[in-house]
Structure 1
Amino acid sequence: MQADATNEVAAGESTASQGDAAYDESVKDDDAVQTADIEKLLDQATESLEEATGEKASAEASPAPFNLNDLSPTEGTSERQPIDLLGEVEMDLRIELGRTQMCLDEVLQLRGGSVVALDKLAGDPVDVFVNGRLIARGEVLVMNDNFCIRVTELVGA
């Protein structure tokens, strides 16, 4: 009985080995078919490309060089630099002495001679804003009966 079981196991292994071999063979055949199909498609694509461009595509084709125009400044046009053009751009400059908060009723009661207290002390630096962005701080001076600002600190962005 034991010998029969061993023979059955051996026969089963033999059948399994034959099945694995058959499977491996079919996979190899499928791979060969797929590789042949891929090569055929590549050949067709190459032929179509050659027909479209009118020339043979070479395996060692190198890209054509691209020539850039000379970007150095030309002689005789030094009358105005591009940065000079920015000098004519208008910007909103605002000097802020200080701030306060008031109710609408308090604003409506303001008259000539009214005093409004600000959040900064006399002598504190004023803020310099360009287009709403703080760029510097400075001190208030009087020159020829006009107020002016001496910049004491540039504020980094």
Structure 2
Amino acid sequence: MSTETPNTMNDAVTDDWAQALEEQAATVNVNDDGAPVFESATAPVTSGGAASANPMQDIQMVLDIPVQLSVELGRTRVPIKYILQLAQGSIVELDALAGEPMDVLINGYLIAQGEVVVVNDKFGIRLTDIVTPSERMRRVSRT
């Protein structure tokens, strides 16, 4: 049984994340367009304080975790009585303007914005702006 308290375990996890973010920041360059260019990290990836035998195996563990990706056209607030009056052909006014970029959310958190495209009779979204990690952290801390 571990003698670590929940607080010391949380501190260790926080330290691991801080180290990973520092390594990422050190390896991110920006191209002429201002878009991030990611290079492979030069520092070895560690897990639990010891060097992992295969760093690629560590990342493989999280690649198959399902997340919910949604694209938000706009929002509105309406009373329940209005919802009950909706019928086929009803129009619901949203707070977004025509031509505005759509919000791309992962598990409810904004990660990008983009524009709607149609490819082979299917809708898609072309990402036009990626939210920076620091902006994501700022938005999360506001909620």
TM-score by length of 1: 0.49
2:109 alignment partner, one of 112, 128, 133: 133
Structure with greater strand percent: 2
After TM superposition, where is structure 1 displaced by more than 6 Å over at least 4 residues in a row? none
1:91 alignment partner, one of 48, 64, 67: 67
Alignment of 1:103-114 (within 5 A): 103-114=79-90
Give the 3 Å change call, closer, same or farther, for CA 73–104 of structure 1 in structure 2. closer
Percent of aligned pairs with the same amino acid: 45
- Aligned CA RMSD, in angstroms, stands at 1.8
1:150 alignment partner, one of 126, 133, 139: 126
Structure 2 counterpart SS, 1:81: helix
State the alpha-carbon separation in 1 of the partners of residues 52 and 102 from structure 2.
Answer: 42
**Unpaired runs of 5+ in structure 2?**
1-49, 137-143
Structure with greater helix percent: 1
TM-score by length of 2: 0.53
Cα displacement string for residues 81-139 of structure 1 (whole angstroms, at most 9, x for unaligned residues): 21122111011211100011111111001111111111112211000111111110001
State the alpha-carbon separation in 2 of the partners of residues 136 and 151 from structure 1.
Answer: 7
Structure 1 counterpart SS, 2:126: strand
State the alpha-carbon separation in 1 of the partners of residues 103 and 75 from structure 2.
Answer: 11
Alignment of 1:38-117 (within 5 A): 74=53, 81-117=57-93
Q: Looking at CA atoms only, which structure, 1 or 2, has the larger radius of gyration?
A: 1
State the alpha-carbon separation in 2 of the partners of residues 72 and 133 from structure 1.
Answer: 32
Structure 1 counterpart SS, 2:82: helix
**Unpaired runs of 5+ in structure 1?**
1-70
Q: 1:13 is matched with which residue?
A: none
